[in-house]
């Protein structure tokens, strides 16, 4: 498929006897919001880890923009335009929100070997960082220590850090995890505003969010992909209903 | 308040004019030299990596100058070049192994490398082996710079230390410094953002080693003596005791930490020969009540250089 931004081919990763991803072949098309759903332990985070390079697959290959990235280390993949957020907020807690994003901008620019000029007075870092904070709705919290931000704000900050690298593909691992309804709604609005600007692979349990945002949905159960298609197809898929959605998770 | 550390440095510069005798001046030189070593060490300390092997780089600096003078090379610039090249090379090789580890493993592996060099020093029989070797002569930089004169030597060390502190002060706020802060704060995150962490750790280790190497070169000029004792792990241990005093959160913590410990030793040992019995409890109190070292007990706006964003 020519327009696939990310393609994985038969990714296998075993942890002991457990097959966390079992020959997973997934394609994410350029520009889409692709949701990855499945019950806990389905292997979603393991898959994201392999795509970002944090976890090495036992076998299989993956391609980003047609280029084989299977052997590339994580930081090289990040520079190709793969950005991720973590399931548990992963930010620099002892820095201000602005410093967090400015550091992300700096690493994206690739000029971290400068030892003399004051990075905190460097407008080529501060200005884009402020703009990105504004984009995720955190402009007013720029000078607050990240540790003092609310849970929802920390997740917004994480998205801002991912965006700061002007990614081609944003891998979001449960961005709504642990959020209240209001915070979730804000996050959905934020992600909706990114739609079309950046390709998103969204791992999420919140079915309202998934069906509100996704162009395509892939369902994983026990390490395997059981279905992939339009939201309406997934909604209608009997196997998915039985295996995962159940009655309680039934989308509205 | 922000100017306080610089005022402290200026006070150190004025010290020889205050009618100090030879002995207090000698003590101040010790403070500067240990502050120097500690400054080098703290580059890694800043990364949350506690090295137990930085005596190795100090020792290399001492040996490089000592053996150069012993073999008739007295040009100070040659010494400096030699020391920088040697300590950078050693730090690169040792660091390439050590910075892959962290925590307890980092402590042990740096210790292992330093002890290895210690035994190499012991094995150098032609240079006195275990007993060491006294050499005559010092680094000769210029005719007007006579390092044999105590006051001149004091100012020489002071000037280089001030320059190194200023460089580190800039460095901490630079992009490189921010990257190091990020590595310390959240390694997984910064890797995810695309920073090759290993390279930055290694670069920090090399800078750290070179600063300690230069300190060693100055030390050699003071003592005119090379000995494996400079490489011994107890030297690294002494340094860590100073770290308890000075912490590693601030640029000037090292000089303060070195000053406090050495002056304290001096005071306590003038009361009793069992002064270490008194030092121990004091260190315990410092650890209990000032976890980041005594620098943290001072007003944060000033000495700690906690610079708020102003971009």
DSSP assigned state of A35? E
- Chain B residue set in contact with A, beta carbons under 8 Å: 170-171, 173-179, 181-182, 185-186, 188-197, 200, 203, 307-311
Q: What is the pLDDT of residues B212-238, one digit of tens each?
A: 999 999 999 999 999 999 999 998 988
In this structure, are A30 and A106 located in the same domain? no
The count of domains in chain A is: 2
Looking up residue A55, the CATH number of its domain turns out to be: 3.40.50.300
pLDDT tier, A29 (very low <50, low <70, confident <90, very high otherwise): very high
Listed residues A136, A165, A194: the one ending a domain: A165
Of B206 and A16, more confident: B206
Mean pLDDT value of segment A195-203: 91
pLDDT of residue A123 exceeding 80, the answer is yes
User: Hey, is A252 helix, strand or coil?
Assistant: coil
Choose the final residue of a domain: A147, A165, A183.
A165
Mutation for B interface: A55, A77, A115, A161, most B CBs within 10 A: A115
- As to burial, measured by CB atoms within 10 angstroms (0-12 exposed, 13-18 middle, 19+ buried), residue A92 is buried
- Statement: residue B21 has pLDDT above 80: no
Q: Which domain holds residue A209?
A: 1-81+167-252
Q: What's the whole-number average pLDDT of chain A?
A: 87
- Residue B3's pLDDT band, with cuts at 50, 70 and 90, is confident
Per the CB < 8 Å rule, is A93 touching B195?
no
Q: How many domains does chain B have?
A: 1
Are A103 and A74 in the same domain?
A: no
Query: Is position B97 within any domain?
Result: yes
In a domain, A225, yes or no: yes
For residue B126, tell me if it sits in a domain.
yes
Please name the member of A104, A118, A142 whose beta carbon is closest to the beta carbon of B193.
Answer: A104
The answer to the question of residue B261 being in a domain is: no
- Of A148, A165, A182, the residue that ends a domain is A165
| B157 lies in some domain | yes
Mean pLDDT over the full length of chain B: 87
Is A44 within the bounds of a domain?
A: yes
Tally A–B CB contacts below 8 A: 126
- Residue in B174, B189, B191 nearest the CB of A115: B174
Same domain as A68, residue A8: yes
Chain B residues closer than 8 Å to A92 by CB: 181-182, 185-186, 189-190
Query: Does residue B109 lie within any of the structural domains?
Result: yes
Residues A142 and A171 in one domain: no
Residue B307 lies in a domain: no
Q: CB within 8 A of B234, min separation 6: which ones?
A: none
For testing the chain A interface, which of B175, B183, B305 should be mutated: the one with the most A CBs within 10 Å? B175
Judged against a pLDDT cut of 60, whether residue B10 lies above it is answered with yes
Q: What is the pTM of this model?
A: 0.84
Provide the domain limits for residue B84: 22-232
The pLDDT of residue B302: 33
State the Cα–Cα distance between residues B164 and B161, nearest whole angstrom.
Answer: 5
Q: Within this chain, do residues A149 and A178 fall inside the same structural domain, yes or no?
A: no
Q: Is the predicted pLDDT of residue A231 greater than 60, yes or no?
A: yes
Q: Please give the angle made by the CA atoms of A35, A213 and A171, to the nearest 5 degrees.
A: 45
d(CA A79, CA A61): 19
Q: Do A107 and B194 touch (CB under 8 A)?
A: yes
Tell me: do A141 and A27 sit in the same domain. Answer: no
- Examine residue B265 and state whether it is found in any structural domain, yes or no: no
Contact between A115 and B236 under an 8 Å Cβ cutoff? The reply is no
Percent of residues, chain B, with pLDDT higher than 90: 49
pLDDT tens digits, A208-218:
889 999 999 99
Task: Mark whether A171 and A156 lie in a shared domain.
Answer: no
Chain A residue numbers touching B174 (CB-CB < 8 A): 114-119
| A122 contacts on B by Cβ (under 8 Å) | 175, 311
The answer on A62 and A130 residing in a single domain is no
In this prediction the ipTM stands at: 0.81
Q: Report if residue B244 sits inside a domain.
A: no
Q: Which pair of tokens denotes residue A126?
A: 């501060």
Q: Output A49-52 pairs: Cβ under 8 A, ≥24 positions apart.
A: A50/A8, A50/A11, A50/A13, A50/A21, A51/A6, A51/A8, A51/A82, A51/A171, A51/A201, A52/A77, A52/A78, A52/A82, A52/A84, A52/A171, A52/B192
Q: For chain A, how big is the Rg over CA atoms in Å?
A: 18
Same domain, A69 and A184: yes
Residue A234, in any domain of the structure: yes
**Interchain CB distance below 8 Å, B192 and A78:** yes
Mutate to test the interface with A, among B194, B210, B292, B307 (most CBs of A within 10 A): B194
The per-residue pLDDT for A85 is 82
As beta bridge partners, residue A21 has A13
Minimal C-alpha gap between B204 and chain A (Å): 11
Give chain B's radius of gyration (CA, Å). Answer: 19
Cα B12 to Cα B32: distance, rounded to the nearest angstrom: 9
User: Quick one: A36 and A152 in the same domain?
Assistant: no
With contact defined as beta carbons under 8 Å apart, do A187 and A204 qualify? no
Residues A152 and A178 in one domain: no
A86 is a domain residue: no
In three-state form (DSSP H/G/I as H, E/B as E, the rest C), the secondary structure along chain B is CCCHHHHHHHHHHHHHHHCCCHHHHHHHHHHHHHHHHHHHHHHHHCCCCCCCCCHHHHHHHHHHHHHHHHCCCCEHHHHHHHHHHHHHHHHHHHHHHHCCCCHHHHHHHHHHHHHHHHHHHHHCHHHCHHHCEECCCCCECCCCCCCCCHHHHHHHHHHHHHHHHHHHHHHHHCHHHHHHHHHHHCHHHHHHCCCCHHHHHHHHHHHHHHHHHHHHHHHHHHHCEECHHHHCHHHHHHHHHHHHHHCCCCCCHHHHHHHHHHHHHHHHHHHCCCHHHHHHHHHHHHHHHCCCCHHHHCCCCCCCCCCCCCC
Same domain? A77 vs A185? yes
pLDDT tens for B38-82 read 999 999 988 889 999 999 999 999 999 999 999 999 899 999 999
> Above 70 in pLDDT, residue B193?
yes
């Amino acid at each position: 498929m020519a327009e696939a931004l990310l393609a994985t081919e038969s990714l296998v990763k075993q942890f002991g006897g457990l097959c966390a991803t079992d020959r997973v072949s997934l394609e994410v098309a350029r520009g889409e919001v692709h949701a990855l759903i499945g019950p806990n332990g389905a292997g979603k985070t393991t898959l994201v880890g392999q795509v970002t390079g944090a976890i090495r697959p036992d076998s299989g290959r993956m391609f980003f923009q047609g280029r084989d990235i299977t052997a590339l280390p994580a930081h090289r993949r990040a520079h190709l335009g793969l950005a991720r957020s973590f399931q548990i907020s992963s930010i620099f807690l002892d820095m201000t929100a602005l410093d967090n994003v400015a550091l992300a901008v700096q690493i994206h620019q690739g000029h971290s070997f400068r030892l003399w000029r004051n990075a905190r007075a460097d407008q080529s870092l501060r200005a884009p960082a402020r703009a990105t904070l504004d984009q995720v709705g955190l402009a007013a919290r720029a000078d607050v220590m990240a540790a003092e931000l609310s849970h929802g704000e920390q997740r917004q900050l994480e998205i801002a850090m991912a965006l700061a690298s002007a990614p081609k593909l944003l891998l979001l691992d449960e961005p709504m995890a642990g959020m209240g309804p209001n915070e979730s709604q804000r996050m959905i609005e934020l992600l909706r505003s990114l739609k079309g600007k950046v390709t998103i692979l969204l791992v999420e349990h919140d079915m309202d969010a998934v069906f509100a945002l996704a162009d395509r949905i892939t369902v994983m159960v026990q390490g395997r992909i059981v279905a992939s298609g339009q939201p309406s197809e997934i909604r209608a898929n009997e196997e998915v209903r039985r295996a995962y959605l159940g009655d309680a998770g039934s989308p509205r | 308040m922000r100017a306080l550390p610089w005022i402290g440095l200026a006070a150190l510069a004025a010290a020889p004019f205050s009618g100090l005798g030879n002995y207090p001046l000698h003590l101040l030189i010790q403070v500067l030299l240990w502050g120097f070593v500690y400054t080098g060490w703290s580059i890694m300390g800043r990364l949350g990596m506690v090295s137990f092997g930085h005596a190795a780089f100090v020792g290399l600096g001492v040996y490089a100058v000592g053996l150069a003078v012993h073999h008739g090379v007295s040009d100070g610039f040659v010494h400096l070049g030699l020391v920088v090249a040697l300590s950078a090379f050693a730090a690169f090789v040792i660091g390439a192994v050590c910075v892959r580890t962290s925590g307890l493993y980092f402590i042990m592996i740096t210790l292992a490398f330093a002890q290895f060099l210690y035994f190499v020093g012991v094995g150098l029989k032609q240079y006195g082996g275990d007993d060491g070797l006294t050499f005559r002569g010092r680094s000769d930089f210029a005719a007007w710079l006579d390092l044999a004169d105590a006051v001149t030597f004091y100012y020489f060390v002071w000037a280089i230390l001030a320059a190194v502190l200023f460089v580190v002060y800039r460095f901490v706020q630079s992009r490189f410094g921010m990257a190091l802060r990020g590595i310390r704060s959240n390694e997984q995150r910064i890797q995810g953002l695309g920073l090759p962490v290993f390279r930055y750790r290694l670069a920090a280790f090399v800078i750290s080693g070179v600063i300690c190497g230069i300190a060693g070169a100055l030390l050699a000029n003071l003592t005119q003596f090379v000995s494996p004792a400079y490489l011994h792990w107890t030297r690294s241990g002494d340094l860590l005791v100073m770290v308890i005093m000075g912490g590693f959160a601030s640029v000037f913590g090292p000089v303060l930490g070195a000053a406090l410990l050495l002056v304290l030793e001096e005071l306590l040992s003038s009361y009793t020969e069992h002064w270490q019995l008194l030092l121990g409890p004091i260190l315990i109190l410092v650890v209990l009540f000032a976890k980041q070292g005594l620098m943290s007990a001072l007003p944060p706006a000033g000495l700690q250089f906690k610079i708020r964003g102003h971009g």
